[in-house]
A and B are shown apart, each in its own frame.
Chain A
Amino acid sequence: MESLSTKEKTSKDCNGDSVFENVVRAPDVPVYAVMVAYSKDPSPVKLNLGIGVYRTEDGKPHVLNVVRRVEKLLLDDVSATKEYLPITGMAEFNKLSAQLVFGADSPAIKENRVTTVQCLAGCGSLRTGADFLAKHYHQHTVYLSQPTYGNHPNFFLAAGLTLKTYRYYDPITRGLDFQGMLDDLGSAPSGAIVLFQVCSHNPTGVDPTLHQWEQIRQLVRSKGLLPFFDNAYQGIVSGSLDMDAQSVRMFVTDGGECLVAHSYSKIMGLYGERVGALSIVCKTADVASRVESQLKLVIRPMYSNPPIHGAAIVTAILKDREMFDEWTVELKAMINRIIHLRQQLLDALRDRGTPGDWSHITKQVGMYTFSGLNAEQVAFMAEEYHIYMSSDGRINMAGLSAKTVPYLADAIHSAVTRIV
């Protein structure tokens, strides 16, 4: 009997053909490959400048003091439960997040024209927004800056949207190719989706000026393009949450529509908690309410409802004046450290007479420096100096310290003089 022979099979005989025969091994994500290479490097002197997380002066992971305080309070709160959040997440978190991005007195918020739903950090917010647009928006082309954060294309491709790029980084000036950007956006089809970064552009560190943002805004509105903002570094450029959000706020003040993915990963050091939100600013409250109901249909079959822990931490900090202030003070300290490191690195290169113009190190803003080093130079620095960064030459400034700046400067000098 057939059934008898099948019963005899044990896992030892795990028989023959696997149904997964045609499943090939996926390559490692490039930036993770850098991390793996770093951790495998046995050299006692090594630097990890590849990752996108903040490190202390001692090179250690950093949990903000105010976050620790809040976690203690949450644990001591006897009324706290772990009940399912609504599909759209914690209501208070959503409200406070919208205020953080758009400003508490934003007319769009007062008029109930903004729907904000808690999502899995910036990545989850981008994916949810992409899925929503794929279902409900007539234009399926998304314009990404050239270059952009490595994972950006994946969210939109997974949602079934088509990708195009707009010029952004000028390798000659190591600044913004503004005319190229305007030309490319100007020739985009009407209604196309355009992904912008609110500030601290990843990977280039190059942000448009406010004057340039205004011109971009006018172009976007005249072409009916749909702006989708990635807001992962609000507060990390200047230390002021309001200042850093000016770009996106322009696109709300003008009464138009936009999407915003916000993340607390970097700005509150909550990386692994996966906390963020997707906001969609609509023309009317009625539209916002319908849009929100449809966002639920995207989220429910993906993960049902979002995780509570990170949102509880963020909410506690944002709603308490004293903790909010403590947070901004810690944020400012983090940024100041980075700003000083930029200056130190520039000075060190000048001291060594390293060929080339390195002024972009202090002109670029936020966490990253787009060094301008090419792939060979990057590989050289890994081999000879055990300094790891992404192959596009992006350096995470937060991975440096005053002690290690000279070592990095030596390595850059060496790479630039020995490899052209």
Chain B
Amino acid sequence: MASTMLSLASTTPSASLSTQEILKGKARLGSGRVGTLLNKEKGNPFIKAKSFGRISMTAAVNVSRFEGVAMAPPDPILGVSEAFRADTDVKKLNLGVGAYRTEELQPYVLDVVKKAENLMLERGENKEYLAIEGLAAFNKATAELLFGADNPVIKQQRVATVQGLSGTGSLRLAAAFIERYFPGAQVLISSPTWGNHKNIFNDARVPWSEYRYYDPKTVGLDFEGMISDIKAAPDGSFVLLHGCAHNPTGIDPTPEQWEKICDVIQEKNHIPFFDVAYQGFASGSLDADASSVRLFAARGMELFIAQSYSKNLGLYAERIGAINVVCSSADAAARVKSQLKRIARPMYSNPPVHGARIVANVVGDPALFNEWKAEMEMMAGRIKNVRQKLFDSLSAKDKSGKDWSFILKQIGMFSFTGLNKTQSENMTNKWHVYLTKDGRISLAGLSLAKCEYLADAIIDSYHNVS
């Protein structure tokens, strides 16, 4: 049934002469009345008329209008899991993407989540469209979780909260809002930062620049560099901060450092923009992990916060999160919320209901909420244990005297090992350990049982490869 179609669509400049001739000839057909054209089909050398249902045969130019589309490179983070899946070696270890694994290295669906889903099914919840801003019960719960239910910003109704597609979707809504209402304003992002941040701002056409963050010499925070770069930026810039458990480094400012960061942001009239993807997952405590955000809110600042429930409730694939904008008045919050909705509508109309209901049910039921806190402490606890074991293995095996204690100082799912690109590649090619090229490992994907193997791989890559 091969049919050859004349296509007048984009042809490259190098279109053949015969194509040109065909195009010239065809041009006349387009301008005439189609009714006449159809009547004259039989005599038209370019179209052999067929009765309805059969294929039109025409002179052929089989060029796709997407011929010029190049093959895109694989995603640096998500592509790691794809490569891992393709690897057949039994020793393989996936420390690429930040998804929590049990000690048996299995994915983990929280018990409270299963309970919530059972409740939802028993209740016979319907599947009606949510409002553009999402599930009201979820929006209320998520803002209260972030700020504390008694927080003045909530009591004064100064927070615009819109349900978003997890962290990414919430960041994107904010980025589009910034592009529209703060044209020319740039976002300062940490060096390094989560790989997708730049893509989000690029696609939203928001300019960005970097502030120093990671100090490879100390494998810690370059605090002076950070402050200096934030000070040097034009007034009124947005400063993207990780609320806790910095991704990819695992290095967080201390409380005293947060105060100073807040000072300089206030001095410069910058707007803080928090990415909170690990509340409760970093330390095990929801309140402790929100302290940076609450500090800024308490200073009376206006700020943006993107939240995600991917990790702390294990709802990765349900895509549930929120964008919160703390404003100086309830009126401003209402106006901002209406404009965030205007951005969401032409993106996907309204957000998915399932994950939102799960969160609302878990947070809204005291028994489930307590169970959740316990499961979160368990997950955070496992990671702390794994950090300890990895540190012990490295210290025991590495005779060079290198200080590996940064592994214990870092917090959250990730550790920045300090391995460079080539060394990271060695980890994968020789040891079948999958990580991102910046040397970031996900401790959530590590078991106590595999710590020694990983230590061997890291030591080899660090010392024997440059």
Residues of A within 8 A of B (CB): 2-3, 6-7, 9-26, 29, 32, 53, 61-63, 67-68, 71-72, 75, 80-87, 107, 120-121, 123-124, 127, 136-139, 151, 154-155, 157-158, 179, 182-183, 186-187, 190-191, 210-211, 214-215, 218-219, 221-224, 226, 253-257, 265, 269-274, 280, 282-284, 287, 289-291, 293-294, 296-298, 300-310
Would you call A157 and B34 a contact (CB within 8 A)? Answer: no
Would you call B35 and A19 a contact (CB within 8 A)? Answer: no
Would you call A158 and B347 a contact (CB within 8 A)? Answer: yes
Would you call B127 and A270 a contact (CB within 8 A)? Answer: yes
- Known A191-B10, A224-B8, A307-B352: A10·B342 in contact at CB below 8 Å: no
Nearest to B172 among chain A residues (CB) is: A302
- Known A75-B117, A84-B97: A256·B35 in contact at CB below 8 Å: no
Would you call B132 and A18 a contact (CB within 8 A)? Answer: no
Would you call B332 and A123 a contact (CB within 8 A)? Answer: no
A319 to chain B, nearest CB (A): 19
Would you call B316 and A84 a contact (CB within 8 A)? Answer: yes
* Complex interface: chain B residues within 8 A of A85 (CB): 317
Complex alpha-carbon distance, A68 and B82, angstroms:
33
Nearest to B126 among chain A residues (CB) is: A61
- Known A120-B352, A307-B165: A29·B132 in contact at CB below 8 Å: yes
* Complex interface: chain A residues within 8 A of B124 (CB): 63, 68
Complex alpha-carbon distance, A155 and B345, angstroms:
9
Given contacts A16-B328, A218-B38, 17 further A-B contacts (CB under 8 A): A6-B266, A14-B300, A14-B329, A26-B338, A32-B132, A82-B113, A85-B317, A123-B348, A139-B10, A151-B349, A222-B6, A222-B26, A222-B29, A224-B9, A272-B352, A296-B72, A309-B352
- Known A272-B129, A287-B69: A11·B156 in contact at CB below 8 Å: yes
Complex alpha-carbon distance, A23 and B78, angstroms:
36
- Known A191-B9, A253-B1: A179·B62 in contact at CB below 8 Å: no
- Known A271-B129, A301-B172: A151·B346 in contact at CB below 8 Å: yes
Complex alpha-carbon distance, A144 and B200, angstroms:
29
Q: Which size bracket describes the interface of B in this complex?
A: 35 or more
B352 to chain A, nearest CB (A): 4
Would you call B352 and A273 a contact (CB within 8 A)? Answer: yes
Cβ 8 A contact of B8, one of A155, A223, A293: A223
A122 to chain B, nearest CB (A): 8
Would you call B348 and A291 a contact (CB within 8 A)? Answer: no
Would you call A271 and B8 a contact (CB within 8 A)? Answer: no
Nearest to A209 among chain B residues (CB) is: B52
B348 to chain A, nearest CB (A): 4
* Complex interface: chain A residues within 8 A of B71 (CB): 289-290, 293
Would you call B109 and A61 a contact (CB within 8 A)? Answer: no
Would you call B332 and A20 a contact (CB within 8 A)? Answer: yes
* Complex interface: chain A residues within 8 A of B55 (CB): 253-255
* Complex interface: chain B residues within 8 A of A10 (CB): 152, 298-300
**Binary CB contact string for chain B from 316 to 355 against chain A (1 if under 8 A, 0 otherwise):** 1111000001011100101110110110011111111111
Complex alpha-carbon distance, A67 and B127, angstroms:
10
Complex alpha-carbon distance, A67 and B156, angstroms:
42
Would you call A11 and B298 a contact (CB within 8 A)? Answer: yes
Complex alpha-carbon distance, A118 and B99, angstroms:
21
Complex alpha-carbon distance, A89 and B271, angstroms:
35
Q: Is B70 an interface position by the 8 A CB rule?
A: yes
Would you call A301 and B352 a contact (CB within 8 A)? Answer: no
Would you call A274 and B302 a contact (CB within 8 A)? Answer: no
Q: Is B75 an interface position by the 8 A CB rule?
A: yes
A301 to chain B, nearest CB (A): 4
Cβ 8 A contact of B130, one of A157, A272, A280, A303: A272
The B59-79 residues at the A interface (CB cut-off 8 A) are 62-72, 75, 78
Q: Is B256 an interface position by the 8 A CB rule?
A: no
A190 to chain B, nearest CB (A): 5
Complex alpha-carbon distance, A19 and B271, angstroms:
9
* Complex interface: chain A residues within 8 A of B335 (CB): 20, 23-26
Would you call B69 and A136 a contact (CB within 8 A)? Answer: yes
Would you call B1 and A302 a contact (CB within 8 A)? Answer: no
A313 to chain B, nearest CB (A): 9
- Known A81-B107, A282-B66: A305·B348 in contact at CB below 8 Å: no
Cβ 8 A contact of B348, one of A17, A127, A182, A280: A127
- Known A293-B71, A308-B317: A18·B118 in contact at CB below 8 Å: no
Would you call B316 and A83 a contact (CB within 8 A)? Answer: yes
Would you call B318 and A255 a contact (CB within 8 A)? Answer: no
A62 to chain B, nearest CB (A): 8
Would you call B127 and A63 a contact (CB within 8 A)? Answer: yes
Complex alpha-carbon distance, A151 and B182, angstroms:
25
* Complex interface: chain A residues within 8 A of B328 (CB): 14-18, 20
Q: Is B224 an interface position by the 8 A CB rule?
A: no
Nearest to A22 among chain B residues (CB) is: B181
A398 to chain B, nearest CB (A): 13
Complex alpha-carbon distance, A124 and B168, angstroms:
15
Nearest to B60 among chain A residues (CB) is: A255
Q: List 15 A-B contacts (CB under 8 A).
A: A6-B263, A20-B181, A20-B332, A23-B181, A63-B124, A81-B107, A83-B316, A214-B53, A221-B7, A254-B3, A255-B2, A269-B127, A290-B69, A290-B70, A305-B317
* Complex interface: chain A residues within 8 A of B266 (CB): 3, 6
Would you call A255 and B4 a contact (CB within 8 A)? Answer: yes
Cβ 8 A contact of B34, one of A22, A219, A224, A273: A219
Nearest to B354 among chain A residues (CB) is: A309
Complex alpha-carbon distance, A310 and B317, angstroms:
11
Nearest to B195 among chain A residues (CB) is: A300
* Complex interface: chain B residues within 8 A of A306 (CB): 319
**Binary CB contact string for chain B from 377 to 397 against chain A (1 if under 8 A, 0 otherwise):** 000000000000000000000
A66 to chain B, nearest CB (A): 13
A95 to chain B, nearest CB (A): 18
* Complex interface: chain B residues within 8 A of A253 (CB): 1, 3, 55
Complex alpha-carbon distance, A25 and B336, angstroms:
7
B314 to chain A, nearest CB (A): 6
